[in-house]
Amino acid sequence: MNDLAGKHLVLGLTGGIAAYKSAELARRLQDHGATVQVVMTEGATHFITAVTMQALTGRPVFCDQWDGRQPNNMAHIDLSREADAIVIVPASTDFIAKLANGLCDDLLTTLCVARACPLLVAPAMNLQMWAHPATQRNAKRIADDGVVVLGPASGDQACGEIGSGRMLEPHEILDDVVAFFQPKLLAGRRVLVTAGPTREPIDPVRAITNHSSGKMGYAVARAAHEAGAVVTLVSGPTGLATPRGVVRIDVDTAREMHAAVMREASSNDCFVAVAAVADWHVLNASDHKLKKVAPDDSGEGEVRGLELRFAENPDILAAVAALPKPPFCVGFAAETEDLHANAEAKLARKRVQMIVGNHATDAFGRDDNALTLYDGHGRTTLERADKLVLARRLVAAIAERMAARSRLPATAAEGTR
């Protein structure tokens, strides 16, 4: 993915054992299209060498305020002027204290104070150091000054203790940096998403489910979070990791999904139903494991058949759309034939603001997809792309329509699709 194409980042390393993870981060940032200029404090060089970081980034590393390699001898100005952001990974207790007080006693601190670009810092320290009132005060102060503080996480620490202060993993920092650069089209909005398949039990060890991987729904949840929304994801069984910053509620059956969604729906501004919900559940599900019948007396090895009876599941999307004050509702139509006709019919039948159509055979399990958006004004095609890229385009389309809707008088907005 080229999420960071065209972005130039200054990656600042300060003194802490987590500095070894910055080597991996430098690599991943470049995989996503960024160019990376490393600047290290003297402390950082005790944990990882400038040679390592130079080899990984293909650029000379700057460590010294008095480094004469910049023609004008002003590395502290020049390096940040080219940058789209400075990212400090790891940020030590001492470095955060200096930032909070505007100190400039080495190249990296001076660069931060002289910067004209955003600053993101990932604290990494022992739990007592993080919990210390001075550190908490300093972290709050830099956040109040507009610095983006990433983490820290809780867990095992290099010192052998367990607690808060551990640096986020490189892949988490990468996701946060990518999210930082996404336009905040849904700032202040709350978005509820369903994703994945549902699983309808036949007995305690068997179930009826479908081929949905959950990838599209998880991508929508991630994209909505990147766009600044508070996101709740109600997920059927998938093997996927929860997108960063998203609250996930796990369910199994369609009826559990219905109950979870109905609890959350009225506190959200937008509902995106991506889940492939089972239309029926088994009425005569057994509470004990069903046994194969032994070969009959004739010795021909026949196995007795099994009869299942089904009852319809609630239509979650239609139920949310029928609430007295429904959120902006978006449904998905995964069809194997007649996509346009089926999607248009679904838009009207479920009384939702948008239906997102895709071909079921194309969509399931793959990392890419192609979508057509249907709303009261017609069709929009989103060309085949990675599901996250598509999810960001979909979120932009939803945000635009929500904004247009909120400009309408309330009575007119209720009638809009």
- Contact residues toward ligand C5P (CB under 6 A) are 194, 254, 273, 275, 277, 279, 313, 315-317, 331-333, 346
Considering the candidates 104, 112, 159, 329, report the single residue annotated as catalytic. Answer: 159
CA dihedral 222, 228, 229, 234 (to 10 degrees): 20
d(CA 110, CA 92): 16
Tell me if residue 159 is catalytic: yes
| Min dist. Cβ of residue 232 to ligand C5P (A) | 15
Nearest to 26 by CA among 18, 16, 37, 15: 37
Q: Which is nearer to ligand C5P, 100 or 207 (CB)?
A: 207
| Min dist. Cβ of residue 312 to ligand C5P (A) | 8
d(CA 328, CA 416): 10
- Identity of the residue numbered 6: G
| Min dist. Cβ of residue 382 to ligand C5P (A) | 16
Q: Which is nearer to ligand C5P, 168 or 330 (CB)?
A: 330
**For the chain, what is the total number of helices (H) and then of strands (E)?**
15, 19
Element (H, E) at 182: none
Q: Which is nearer to ligand C5P, 117 or 318 (CB)?
A: 318
| Min dist. Cβ of residue 346 to ligand C5P (A) | 6
Q: Which is nearer to ligand C5P, 91 or 317 (CB)?
A: 317
Dihedral of alpha carbons 22, 81, 111, 46, sign: positive
d(CA 186, CA 402): 9
8 Å CB contact between 110 and 76: yes
| Min dist. Cβ of residue 64 to ligand C5P (A) | 58
Give me 371's structure tokens: 């979508």
Q: Which is nearer to ligand C5P, 101 or 361 (CB)?
A: 361
Q: Which is nearer to ligand C5P, 138 or 213 (CB)?
A: 213
Cis, peptide link before residue 90, omega less than 30° from 0: yes
d(CA 186, CA 225): 8
Where b means 16+ CB within 10 Å and e means fewer, 30-65 reads beeebbbbbbbbebbbebbebebbeebbeeebbbeb
| Min dist. Cβ of residue 300 to ligand C5P (A) | 42
Element (H, E) at 35: strand 35-40
Nearest to 233 by CA among 190, 187, 201, 266: 190
DSSP string, 240-294: PPPPTT-EEEE--SHHHHHHHHHHHGGG-SEEEE--B--SEEETT--SSPPPPPP
d(CA 57, CA 79): 15
Q: Which is nearer to ligand C5P, 175 or 335 (CB)?
A: 335
Catalytic residue numbers, as ranges: 159
